[in-house]
Amino acid sequence: MIRNSTSDIEDLIALMAKLPGLGPRSARRAVLHLIRKRALLLTPLADVMTEVAATARECLNCGNIGTREICPLCTDPERANGELCVVEDVADLWAMERALVFKGRYHVLGGTLSALDAVGPEDLRIPRLVDRVATEGVSEVILALNATIDGQTTAHYIADQLQGQVRLTSLAQGVPIGGELDYLDDGTISAALRARKEI
Amino acid sequence: MIRNSTSDIEDLIALMAKLPGLGPRSARRAVLHLIRKRALLLTPLADVMTEVAATARECLNCGNIGTREICPLCTDPERANGELCVVEDVADLWAMERALVFKGRYHVLGGTLSALDAVGPEDLRIPRLVDRVATEGVSEVILALNATIDGQTTAHYIADQLQGQVRLTSLAQGVPIGGELDYLDDGTISAALRARKEI
Ligand SMILES: [Zn+2]
Ligand SMILES: [Zn+2]
């Protein structure tokens, strides 16, 4: 529809408008900004996107996104095997890491159970979690799921699966009702983790 | 700072966060979305960015962005040479085009005069505008500049330069005071152009 522009620029605007947080107008602004900052922004962005498109993959062990079969968080010898923090998605893992308070391992479910969307345990990384608890010497599973209905349903389901095998904790109250980890400031996450409670 | 991520993914987040309209948090969300939609979004975006980085350029005649020395708007035989619409930047040209009401040629200044930022006529495409008016058989110059102080200062300066050589008009009242073209709906722009007045 932007008749003055070439097809490539139109395509770029249309693709940028598909990003969460950008609409058509902000996509147009972003594309003009990219073209103005070609050497500083557009070319480096094109290069790193090409690289990430070729190399990004989910860690076979924990579901984190990285570039190797097994991610650095799973292989880092400095981190404790005994504590396993279960999160819904990679954004939540990043939020936990920014809080700089957890030094164990992670397990990324890849979503939550949802009757409405027909997401069952086999659609998430729950069987793999049960496996890891049985084989990795895990002594505590911290269920750091969002305080949403689906998040809490998922936490209860996982607690049922692991009951008796391991210490089960969840983040302390402090995570607001209906709140999502990735929206919280680092201090709130730190405080909630430090005050975590038995389930 | 995202210690779990690989350097490429961190770089991608840092570059995305430099786009207008995206902060660090929305950049992280956008990058996860891109990786999830690798075939549909990330790879096509990387490809078209590479293409645009290699080919995008300013039209030597009017300042529009395209991929040729002279842009399609300047060469389109369907458009009238007699009317020349002067805009501040390419986003404003796109906004005019979306209104589907102007069928003449454009001239993109590349900004506005600004004492504060030390932007003078020679920093904009104003000498080239005076040239075009003298040589292209222009009978009317429509000053479609933003209704800001710098926009109106620039309009007055250009009007002084061209006084007596050509019919000079500006967009009708209807553009809100302090408003920018690119924020207006298409209907408002159409109405303001149709009701344009002599300066
Ligand atoms: Zn991993
Ligand atoms: Zn042109």
A51 shares its domain with A86: no
| Residue B32: half-sphere exposure toward Cβ, Cα within 13 Å | 19
B30 shares its domain with B124: no
Continuous H helices in A78-185: 90-98, 126-135, 149-162
Which string of DSSP letters, residue by residue, matches B72-92? Answer: HHHH-TTS-SSEEEEESSHHH
- Residues B9, A65: contact at Cβ < 8 Å? yes
State chain A's mean pLDDT as an integer. 89
Yes or no, beta carbons of B2 and A94 under 8 Å apart: yes
CA neighbor of B100 nearest in space, from A10, A1, A24: A1
Band (A6; pLDDT cuts 50, 70, 90): low
Residue from the list A2, A18, A56 with its beta carbon closest to the beta carbon of B35: A56
Yes or no, beta carbons of B94 and A30 under 8 Å apart: no
A77 shares its domain with A173: yes
Q: Does the residue A60 lie in any domain?
A: no
- Residues A132, A107: contact at Cβ < 8 Å? yes
Range A98-120 average pLDDT: 92
Band (A176; pLDDT cuts 50, 70, 90): low
Domain, as residue range, for A35: 7-55
Q: Does the residue A118 lie in any domain?
A: yes
The reported pLDDT for the residue numbered B100 is: 85
- Residues B186, B100: contact at Cβ < 8 Å? yes
Q: Does the residue B2 lie in any domain?
A: no
A116-121 contacts: CB < 8 A, separation 24 or more?
A121/A157
Q: How far apart are CA A19 and CA A151, in angstroms?
A: 25
Residue A72, CA distances (Å) to A64, A106, A135, B57, B98 in order: 9, 11, 19, 42, 49
Q: Each residue of A14-56: pLDDT tens digit? A: 999 999 989 998 999 999 999 999 999 999 999 999 999 999 9
Could you tell me the sign of the dihedral formed by the alpha carbons of B120, B121, B122, B124, in that order? positive
Q: Could you tell me the two tokens for B36? A: 């999830």
Outline where DSSP puts E strands in chain B: 57-58, 65-66, 83-87, 105-108, 140-143, 167-170, 197-198
Residue B185, CA distances (Å) to A143, B99, B189 in order: 48, 8, 7
Number of helices (H), then strands (E), belonging to chain A: the values are: 8, 7
Q: How far apart are CA A26 and CA B23, in angstroms?
A: 13
The reported pLDDT for the residue numbered A5 is: 43
Yes or no, beta carbons of B42 and A49 under 8 Å apart: yes
B70 shares its domain with B36: no
CA neighbor of B83 nearest in space, from B114, B60, B105, B108: B105
CATH number at residue B87: 3.40.1360.10
- Residue A139, C-beta contacts closer than 8 angstroms, at least 6 positions apart: A82, A83, A166, A167
Q: Does the residue A77 lie in any domain?
A: yes
In chain A, positions 53-112, which contact chain B (CB-CB < 8 Å)? 53, 55-56, 64-67, 71-73, 89-91, 93-94, 97-98, 106
A89 shares its domain with A132: yes
What ipTM was reported for this prediction? 0.81
A36 shares its domain with A87: no
The reported pLDDT for the residue numbered B186 is: 75
Residue from the list B31, B52, B97 with its beta carbon closest to the beta carbon of A42: B52
A14 shares its domain with A85: no
| pLDDT tens sequence for chain B (199 residues) | 344 445 899 999 999 999 998 999 899 999 999 999 999 999 999 999 999 999 999 999 999 999 889 999 999 999 988 999 999 999 999 988 888 889 999 999 999 999 888 999 999 999 999 999 999 999 999 999 987 889 989 999 999 999 999 999 988 756 666 667 777 777 777 777 777 766 7
Q: How far apart are CA A147 and CA A170, in angstroms?
A: 10
User: How many angstroms separate the CA of residue A195 from the nearest CA in chain B?
Assistant: 24
The CA B86 to ligand 2 mean position distance, Å, reads: 12
With tokens 């040589």, the residue in question is: B135
Q: Each residue of A128-169: pLDDT tens digit? A: 999 999 999 999 999 999 878 899 899 999 999 999 999 999
The reported pLDDT for the residue numbered B57 is: 94
CATH number at residue B24: 1.10.8.420
The CA B96 to ligand 2 mean position distance, Å, reads: 15
A172 shares its domain with A81: yes
In chain A, positions 105-134, which contact chain B (CB-CB < 8 Å)? 106
Phi, psi (degrees; rounded to nearest 5) at A108: -95, 115
pTM of the predicted structure, to 2 decimals = 0.80
B71 shares its domain with B49: no
